[in-house]
Amino acid sequence: MDINLRGTKTQSTYVFVFSSGPSVARPAWPGLRRPRGTAYVCISPEIQTCVISSNIPFFLRSSHVSELLQPAWPEWIESLSALFGHDDVWNGVGWGSAEDTAKQMFNAYLDAGGNFIDTANGYTGGTSETFLGKFIRERGERDRIVLATKFTFAMGKGDPNAGGNGRKNIYSSLEGSLRRLQTDYIDLFWMHNWDTLTPVDEVMSSLDDLVRAGKVRYIGISNSPAWYLARAQSLAEFKHYDNFCAWQLEYSLLERNIEREHIPAALEFGLGITPWSPLASGLLSGKYKREKGSARPAGDGRLTVTKESGNPAFLKLFTERNWKIIDALNEVSKEIGKPPAQIALNWVTHRPGVSSTIIGASKMEQLKDNLAALDFELPEGARKKLDEVSQPENQYPYLFFGPEMQAGVTGGAEVRKTPGF
């Protein structure tokens, strides 16, 4: 498949970033059935696929939320905990798809030329990795596949050493992932989240040991402060540890806070940024309208369910500022004749520092629509309009680094940094 990316023609292949597993729900819910096995699963589960170019990869990871179980059904929570070993679906993080559907998509993705697969040890309590291990073994193409997984989040309750970024959990998480994935090495091992406790040296030395042992090829980081990344990379350079090569962070028209510290840090230390939630959990997809007299969404989608969950990751979306951005996005959509989702994705993929973009799709048509975001150049006027309406508030100390204050630093003379230095 040929795509036009930032004006450069590149030969591309499909990439499928995978997170699978059954989603438990009441059998009476519309659109749900009970397949062979023990859990109820969605009849149209969310599945993911993407494009990777020869110079800039576009990763996709399953990051969809199943419908929340209601408090009136506590027995379903017990069943869920017994099945998955945790209550993630109760917390609104019941990721996954039926095994047969996941396998079909996995094979279709590989048949299309894909080779990169991303998951995590905690996705549906390890079911994602178990499915993947089975699928990869059946295909017999482990060496062709670039396989990534993550550690940090606890797989159970009550044991502080069953989670976090300490050496004990890093090692045990990796061994569990290797066993479920039926492989003897991981191509990319991600630190899923900063745990706020473990010394940086312990994290980096532990990961370096795994690289030197041949169990891990490369390491990445996600959801961390910029200062933490700077310390980790500097420590790795000083002590000759292997260092992080990529950074997964939330980034979209509605969430641009990483532009203050994270993107400059990534450019300085040579990491590729992989934005997750570029459509802001679907709020930028064009299918949601705001409730009358409220900042909350109305429409057919997961946000109409999760808006009542109390989860701050979702509640932060429902603001007057964000609806103004969505209004501008819809205006641009009408002006250039492209769907809002394509425009939002196109905007993210062209941001400085971005080398990959995580997207999600619930059906093949949606996937194709998302991939079409790579097929056009956003007009300069449209891009400027979106940049301005979504511009983050200029706060201290960052206002001191802008052109107005820097003019006082240089005495009004024009000074610029030469690329490459």
CATH number of the domain where residue 9 is located: 3.20.20.100
Which of the following is catalytic: 14, 40, 109, 123? 123
pLDDT (0 to 100) of residue 367: 72
**pLDDT confidence band for 210 (50 / 70 / 90):** very high
Neighbours of 43 (CB within 10 A): 11
Please report, for residues 75, 97, 99, 120, the alpha-carbon distance to residue 90 in angstroms, rounded to integers and kept in the order given: 12, 17, 21, 19
As given in the structure block, the two tokens for residue 329 are 């996005």
Helix ranges (DSSP H) in 316-375: 320-336, 340-349, 364-371
**Domain assignment present for 417:** no
| pTM of the predicted protein model | 0.73
**Domain assignment present for 421:** no
**pLDDT confidence band for 365 (50 / 70 / 90):** confident
CA angle 383, 343, 285 (to 5 degrees): 135
C-alpha gyration radius of the chain: 22
Q: Which domain holds residue 309?
A: 2-410
Residue 197 CA, chain-centre distance (Å), reads 23
pLDDT (0 to 100) of residue 146: 87
In whole angstroms, give the CA distance from residue 365 to residue 223.
Answer: 30
| Total domains, the chain | 1
List, for residues 378-411, the tens digit of each pLDDT value.
Answer: 999 999 999 999 999 989 999 999 888 999 999 9
Contact 62, 15 (CB under 8 A): no
**Domain assignment present for 267:** yes
Question: Is residue 38's pLDDT more than 60?
Answer: no
In whole angstroms, give the CA distance from residue 403 to residue 272.
Answer: 26
CA angle 13, 118, 109 (to 5 degrees): 35
User: Is 241 a residue of the active site?
Assistant: no
In whole angstroms, give the CA distance from residue 395 to residue 397.
Answer: 6
List, for residues 76-114, the tens digit of each pLDDT value.
Answer: 223 222 222 333 332 334 545 678 887 877 887 777 677
Contact 49, 105 (CB under 8 A): yes
**Domain assignment present for 29:** yes
- Average pLDDT of the chain is 76
**Domain assignment present for 418:** no
For range 201-225, the mean pLDDT: 98
Q: Which of 51, 29, 6, 21 is nearest to 370 (CA)?
A: 51
